[in-house]
Amino acid sequence: MTALEARAFWIAEAGRGEIRAQQLPPPSPDEVVVRALYSGISRGTESLVFLGRVPASEHHRMRAPFQEGEFPAPIKYGYSNVGRVERGPRDLEGRDVFVLYPHQTRYVVPAPSVHLLPDDVPPPRAVLAANLETAINVLWDARPHAGDRVSIVGAGTVGCLVAWLAARMPAPDVELVDVNDHRASIARALGVGFATPASARADADLVIHASGSPSGLDVSMRIAGFEATIVDASWYGDRIVPLALGGAFHSQRLTLKSSQIAHVAASQRARWDARRRMALALSLLGDASLDKLITGESAFDTLPVVMDQLATTPGDTLCHRIRY
């Protein structure tokens, strides 16, 4: 394979993926050629994209930075690629980098699009960077205070990362809530409590919903304390989400707000941009306990089968890593 050839994962049609050969353009002086080492599957979002469940109203807003094709398909989609710079400016050649790029063996991007990995962050773990950046933004939107009782409903990758971050605040009191009690061991590794929806404590000061399920949002409203805030970090695609507002929502004077990664949280926007936010995420990935969130790995050539399995029968999967 030459430096100008690559293979990429494409969603050919809803529910079916394939590996396609691609010719790369010659890099200009301000571009780099990156050879992929690993990529990560952001299971919640990528499953909805794979199944063709992006609403027409969101086709433009849901575009990934280096997406090719248009929703619903054919489309090349993804945003968690870790690679090594093969060609480019001298200070970048040979360096390991994170790029918001789809699943592809080699690619050409502008040099400012790559993010150097800190020395203490191994490339296999760096696939968590995009999800950790999301978790940072969620916490900025949530604005917890020292000593708050914080409940995170949904122990997927983003929910676990939000819990891990919240547990590093002063006097943390953090509980991770999930229907899968196998996630209790992961919660312990991250230094937080764990409960099922039936055993989750009530009267939380702050609830962050990250399950992607309407039932998780119901749990979030049930366990929120008086005048608490519920931050919904889930994305539901084209699913209609019923919400029981006749119960505690009004009597408890609850606040429900959204969080989404495309914009830096309003509380930080005057001083932070996306590049600074990503640098923060990468700087936090030196903690080896985060390896618990990578629950599987597959070779790149198996991606069409793997993506179908993750979208339809995810099992205990958190972050699934692709090896090149």
Whole-angstrom CA distances from 124 to 90, 129, 138, 263, 296 are 24, 11, 24, 27, 12
3 pLDDT more than 60: no
- Note whether residue 293 is domain-resident: yes
Q: Which band of pLDDT confidence, cut at 50, 70 and 90, is reported for residue 1? A: very low
Q: What is the CATH number of the domain that holds 66?
A: 3.90.180.10
The model's pTM is: 0.95
Whole-angstrom CA distances from 300 to 184, 200, 319, 322 are 30, 39, 15, 6
Q: Is the preceding peptide bond at 74 cis, omega within 30 degrees of 0?
A: yes
Same domain, 17 and 71: yes
* Mean pLDDT on 257-261: 94
Same domain, 254 and 142: yes
Report the percent of the chain where pLDDT is more than 70.
Answer: 99
2 pLDDT more than 80: no
Please give the structure tokens belonging to residue 198.
């039936």
- End-to-end Cα, the chain, rounded Å: 13
* Mean pLDDT on 127-140: 98
- Note whether residue 277 is domain-resident: no
Domain count, the chain: 2
256-294: buried (b, 16+ CB within 10 Å) or exposed (e) per residue? beebebeebbeeeeeebeeeebbbebbebbeeeebebbb
Please give the structure tokens belonging to residue 314.
């995810």
Question: Which residue do the tokens 């990528």 mark?
Answer: 46
- Note whether residue 280 is domain-resident: no
- Note whether residue 168 is domain-resident: yes
Average of per-residue pLDDT values in the chain: 95
Radius of gyration of the chain measured on its C-alpha atoms: 20
Q: What is the CATH number of the domain that holds 161?
A: 3.40.50.720
* Mean pLDDT on 59-70: 95
Same domain, 176 and 235: yes
- Note whether residue 198 is domain-resident: yes
Contact 42, 323 (CB under 8 A): no
* Region of poorest pLDDT, from 2-16, 61-75, 172-186, 298-312: 2-16
pLDDT digits (tens, 9 = 90+) for 15-30: 999 999 999 999 999 9
- Note whether residue 204 is domain-resident: yes
- Note whether residue 281 is domain-resident: no
- Note whether residue 85 is domain-resident: yes
pLDDT digits (tens, 9 = 90+) for 102-112: 999 999 999 99
DSSP 31-49: EEEEEEEEEEE-HHHHHHH
What pLDDT does residue 4 have? Answer: 82
41 pLDDT more than 70: yes
Range of the domain at 22: 5-118+286-323
* Mean pLDDT on 268-293: 97
